[in-house]
Amino acid sequence: MTGVAGNAPATLKVGVDIKHTWRGDLTVDLVAPDGTAYRLKNSSGSDSADNIITTYTVDASSEVANGTWRLKVQDVAAADTGKIDSWKVTF
């Protein structure tokens, strides 16, 4: 992110489109430029649906807006597969 003055908003929007055959296996974090991770989604063994296509709201107001924001997705179980189709941060 470049050209955004000041800190990120308290209502930072993070849109994700993740294809996965058992979304409950996944944890999803937004990682700020300083390395701070904001948990967007916890894993849940009872969530057997496919895919995560949603927008999360994060209070990232303590973070400087400019810098490299990353999405970290971890599959905490074996057997299923997936991929990140797209994601975006909206200031």
pLDDT digits (tens, 9 = 90+) for 26-43: 999 999 999 999 999 999
72 DSSP β-pair partners: 29
Q: Please report the pLDDT score of residue 1 as a whole number.
A: 84
Domain extents in the chain: 12-78
How far is residue 36 CA from its own chain's centroid? 12
Residues ≥6 apart with Cβ < 8 Å to 32: 8, 38, 60, 63, 67, 69
Of 40, 44, 15, 42, the residue nearest 29 (C-alpha): 40
Give the global pTM.
0.93
**Could you read off the pLDDT of 64-88 as tens digits, one per residue?**
999 999 999 999 998 888 999 999 9
Of 78, 75, 58, 54, the residue nearest 13 (C-alpha): 58
**Could you read off the pLDDT of 11-25 as tens digits, one per residue?**
999 999 999 999 999
48-77 mean pLDDT: 96
